Amino acid sequence: MLLYVYEKIRLKIIILLLAVLFYSPTVYCQVSAEEYFHQAVEKDRSKDYQGAIADYNVAIEINPNYAQAYNNKGIIKYKLKDYQGAISDYTSAIKIDSAYTQAYNNRGIAKDILKDWNGAIADYSKAIEMNPNYVQAYNNRGLARMKVNEKDGACMDFSKAEELGNANAAGLRKKYCQ
């Protein structure tokens, strides 16, 4: 009888250990960073910005190299007018993925709002260097160049953006470069 009780306890311990291993945070986290990311995207769409930031933070905690989560969190902070916070998140995304052109463009937009036009121009230029067909970066750089009185460079950027199909750039070129 004592042997039977011992075996029963041993079996419960084994089942408990298997359950702990099966539901361990490591196994759970490999799947859930992506799940939290998608929850954050949905919360952003429904304008639950604080909830989205919280979910992006969990995704980043699970996967500290999640560049897209940092970038998207930066976009939300930008929407909330937390431009320094947005720049910080875009910078984190760039540190993880130095070829993340959208993060460079986004960081340039936030710097532009803070009147760091030279910093914005540098970010737009880096995005263009990595993707010579990045229409929005040409348009944005042209606008920043106008703010620092680089009219010739701005006009070249507007022309390139227009050549790449940006109708807004055509209007800017006509307004500032004639």
Please state, in angstroms and rounded to a whole number, the distance separating the CA atoms of residues 15 and 11. 6
Residue ranges in the chain modelled with pLDDT below 50: 16-29
Helices (runs of H) and strands (runs of E) counted in the chain: 10, 0
pLDDT at residue 12 in the model: 64
Taken in order of first residue, the domains within the chain and their CATH numbers are 32-98 (1.25.40.10), 120-178 (1.25.40.10)
Please state, in angstroms and rounded to a whole number, the distance separating the CA atoms of residues 134 and 160. 10
Chain segment 87-134, per-residue pLDDT in tens: 999 999 999 999 999 999 999 999 999 999 999 999 999 999 999 999
Please state, in angstroms and rounded to a whole number, the distance separating the CA atoms of residues 153 and 139. 11
Q: What is the DSSP string of 56-89?
A: HHHHHHH-TT-HHHHHHHHHHHHHTT-HHHHHHH
pLDDT at residue 178 in the model: 82
